[in-house]
Chain A
Amino acid sequence: MPSDHRVLITGAGGFIGGRVAEVLHGSGCAQVRAGVRKWAGAARIGRLPVEIVRCDLADPRQVDAACNGVTVVVQCARATGPGSEAQLRNLLEAAYRRGVTRVVHLSTAEVYGAVAGDVHEEHPVGPGQSDYARSKIAAEQVCAEYIARGLPLVVLRPTIVYGPFSEAYTVRVVERLLSGRWSLPEESCRGTCNLLYVDDLVAAIVLALRTDQAVAETFNVNGSERVTWNQYFRALGEALGAGILDPKGVLAARVSAWLLQPVRASAHFLLKHQQDRIMALYERYRPVRRLLRRAESLMREMPAMGEFGLYRRTAFYVTEKAQRILGYQPTFTMASGIALSVAWLRHEGYLRDGGTHLSAAH
């Protein structure tokens, strides 16, 4: 990609957007404009001497200003839930009006739903299994409208993206493995994991930005190894020096997840609507602090109902099209991705070693 390209990365405060910004800036491949929804999300990206702008997709004025003067856009912002389609329209409309020469939109392999076997891009999408999948399906439809209007847009469908800064598939999994309380049985995790190291996804994004034949196309983006969730959890556990998971029965694990469902729903509702009050109570009263910490760790460490389906799914998302048209070639093995992830976890203080953590619990 010519280095005079000026790229807007939306969601640059997030896991994937942050990494796209780091690679594009670090490699000198493009001038980066990092778009963040809130300033509080800019701590990671602020480490780079790049332009950082507010770009809340819900605010058309911010979005338009962020698109001004850029040649390409990488859409990594989380636009899910109510209003997500309108938010994506704000971005695509601004990109269209400003004459942006390429937009790469990050969708997800979740759009295919609960499928099995080898899955190619021609496989029908939907019906959405979750709010997340439904939002992403709707977003792809918005992308299709803009492609029809002539916006040079590429849709990527990444799989299970992990690596440094991944909350869902690195940090949370590690917290669970280290808790010793994660009671997910082996027989529940025989599905295919479709692990994709974040830098391989960044490679696919860059290739989609620079390959003209990619325009108006949709690509699966996956790693190359067919590993199961069990293999991933075991390999990660070994890299961490964690013990073997509690071999609880499938039924017991499902009952635990089912019992926690109302707790999760209530916590979500309360945090959404009463966050200030809860935080005031948390700050002032020690028993409230203990209770909330306990509830939080319980919810993080126990699998939610929706995870059972994912861990059992045997689909493998094929990247033959991305290899043929984009020249995509995943280069990170599970072993190398895990090694880098663990090095990062150790550096950030997630793993209790060295002088970072205290001997007494506080």
Chain B
Amino acid sequence: MTTGGNAGDGGGDRAAPPTVAVIGCGAIARLQHVPALVKHPGVRERLVLVDQDLDRARELAYAFGVASIAADYRDVLGGVDGVVIALPHHLHYRAALDCLRAGVHVLCEKPLAESAAEVAELGAVAEQSHVTLAVNNTRRLFPPSRKVQELLSEGAIGAVRFLGYYDGAKYGWPSASGFAFGLRGTGKGILLDAGAHVLDVVCWWLGHKPHVTAYMDDSFGGSEAVAKVSFTDGAARGEVHLSWLAKLRNGFRIEGEAGSIVGSVYDWHAVELTSRSGKRKQIPLNSRVRTIRDAGRLVVENFIGVIQSGRPPLVSAQDVAPSIAMIEECYARRRRFDMPWHDAWEQIRYAL
């Protein structure tokens, strides 16, 4: 592996490109982090790709002209300024803790951890070690998310009365290890995965964590593929519907006392603002973030800035703490949907 300055002093060598390790060489590393990192001058030459499956690390290194690979992240921590944690969900907390304790800046994939206590601990350790902990909650950078946050802050629709967010499609992520399914990882499914994005955006828009009133999913002891969250926030109520099994509207609707906002999660042309009188207005988004990859690239660019010049992270551990607490609360209240089609096998008991 390569050697480089340790960033424990809070900034690293500003003149030299940082030494970064990507821990975990699965789909997100291949599609987002490594392509974005190698675009920075000098970063490719000092990049280290880490995966316990060395063949996977080697393959990715070859594809992007990276020279250094390693099997265990603990072996590289002494020689890097920052790490990107792109491991399966259940390994995030442990790996982030190890890296922060070693005095290395961390950009961790979402979800940062599985509990609010873990998030708080990671934040405290980062502070003690004088390093930055950033989280890849890219959905905050999606132009509709930003515009809604802006409109709500400006009071464009007054106090929120209802917030609905619907996100679903047949699962198509080219996962390398299948860690999100069954009992292969955390045993938790879409709520911890896509929910880490969606609930983070909901908490960000509202300015804090709402109160979970009900949570239902379709787990039979494995990872849920469909989840519905109901919540209240003062006089407002809300719902989130997530699915890995079928396409949903992939949009959101926010009703306030002075109007409403409707938008799409993935179509970034405009959001629709309706005034109290019913007048509709398309608000163009015109963002330089035109694709999900653009958003991912911004996160990586920001992380390089975090390492080189002590820039604040786009999304911090503190930012995601409310959504992780909300996810934890949901799982604590978990109930299964009524699914008569699932239980219909009782009718063929004669054959079993």
Interface residues of chain A, those whose CB is within 8 Å of chain B, are 1, 22-23, 25-27, 29, 36, 38-52, 54, 163-165, 199-200, 202-204, 206-207, 283-284, 286, 289, 327-329, 331-332, 340-341, 343-344, 347-350, 355-360, 362
**Which chain A residues lie closer than 8 Å to B341 at the CB level?**
163-164, 340-341, 343-344
Give how many B residues have a beta carbon under 8 Å from the other chain's beta carbons: 64
In the complex, B288 has a CB within 8 A of chain A: no
Distance between Cα atoms of A45 and B182 in the complex (Å): 7
Identify which of B189, B248, B267, B340 contacts A289 (C-beta below 8 A).
B267
Closest to A19 in B: B345
Residue among B183, B340, B345 with the highest chain A CB neighbour number at 10 A:
B345
Distance between Cα atoms of A356 and B248 in the complex (Å): 8
**Which chain A residues lie closer than 8 Å to B243 at the CB level?**
348-349
Shortest beta-carbon distance, B40 to chain A, in Å?
A: 22
Distance between Cα atoms of A199 and B351 in the complex (Å): 11
Identify which of A25, A284, A289, A358 contacts B166 (C-beta below 8 A).
A358
Chain B 143-167 near chain A by CB (<8 Å), digits 1 or 0: 0000000000000000000001010
Identify which of A289, A332, A341, A358 contacts B347 (C-beta below 8 A).
A332
In the complex, B349 has a CB within 8 A of chain A: yes
Chain B 243-281 near chain A by CB (<8 Å), digits 1 or 0: 111111111110000000011100101001000000000
Given contacts A26-B345, A48-B182, contact A329 B350 (CB under 8 A): yes
Interface residues of chain B, those whose CB is within 8 Å of chain A, are 164, 166, 168, 170-178, 180-184, 187, 189, 218-226, 239, 241, 243-253, 262-264, 267, 269, 272, 290-292, 337, 339-345, 347-352
Quick check: A50 and B182 within 8 Å, CB to CB?
yes
Quick check: A358 and B220 within 8 Å, CB to CB?
no
Distance between Cα atoms of A145 and B269 in the complex (Å): 58
Quick check: B181 and A206 within 8 Å, CB to CB?
no
Quick check: B251 and A44 within 8 Å, CB to CB?
no
Top-9 shortest CB links A-B: A46-B181, A39-B178, A49-B221, A203-B351, A43-B171, A203-B348, A362-B264, A43-B244, A348-B246
Distance between Cα atoms of A284 and B294 in the complex (Å): 10
Quick check: B264 and A47 within 8 Å, CB to CB?
no
Given contacts A39-B175, A331-B348, contact A286 B269 (CB under 8 A): yes
Quick check: B347 and A347 within 8 Å, CB to CB?
no
Distance between Cα atoms of A9 and B183 in the complex (Å): 18
**Which chain A residues lie closer than 8 Å to B262 at the CB level?**
358-360, 362
Identify which of B168, B173, B223, B252 contacts A46 (C-beta below 8 A).
B223
Quick check: A202 and B173 within 8 Å, CB to CB?
no
Closest to B225 in A: A43
Other A-B contacts than A50-B182, A341-B341, 13 sampled, CB-CB below 8 A, are A26-B345, A39-B174, A54-B178, A200-B348, A203-B350, A283-B292, A289-B267, A343-B341, A349-B246, A358-B164, A358-B252, A358-B262, A362-B267
14 contacts between A and B (CB under 8 A): A26-B342, A36-B178, A39-B176, A47-B224, A49-B187, A52-B181, A52-B182, A163-B341, A200-B348, A284-B290, A329-B350, A340-B341, A347-B339, A355-B164
Residue among B172, B340, B348 with the highest chain A CB neighbour number at 10 A:
B348
Closest to A22 in B: B342
Closest to A290 in B: B267
Distance between Cα atoms of A286 and B270 in the complex (Å): 11
Distance between Cα atoms of A40 and B245 in the complex (Å): 11
Distance between Cα atoms of A40 and B225 in the complex (Å): 12
Given contacts A207-B351, A347-B337, contact A39 B225 (CB under 8 A): no
**Which chain B residues lie closer than 8 Å to A343 at the CB level?**
340-341
**Which chain A residues lie closer than 8 Å to B224 at the CB level?**
47
Distance between Cα atoms of A347 and B171 in the complex (Å): 17
Quick check: B178 and A47 within 8 Å, CB to CB?
no
Distance between Cα atoms of A332 and B348 in the complex (Å): 9
Distance between Cα atoms of A335 and B263 in the complex (Å): 39
**Which chain A residues lie closer than 8 Å to B164 at the CB level?**
355, 358
**Which chain B residues lie closer than 8 Å to A39 at the CB level?**
174-178, 181
Distance between Cα atoms of A67 and B263 in the complex (Å): 48
**Which chain B residues lie closer than 8 Å to A327 at the CB level?**
350-351
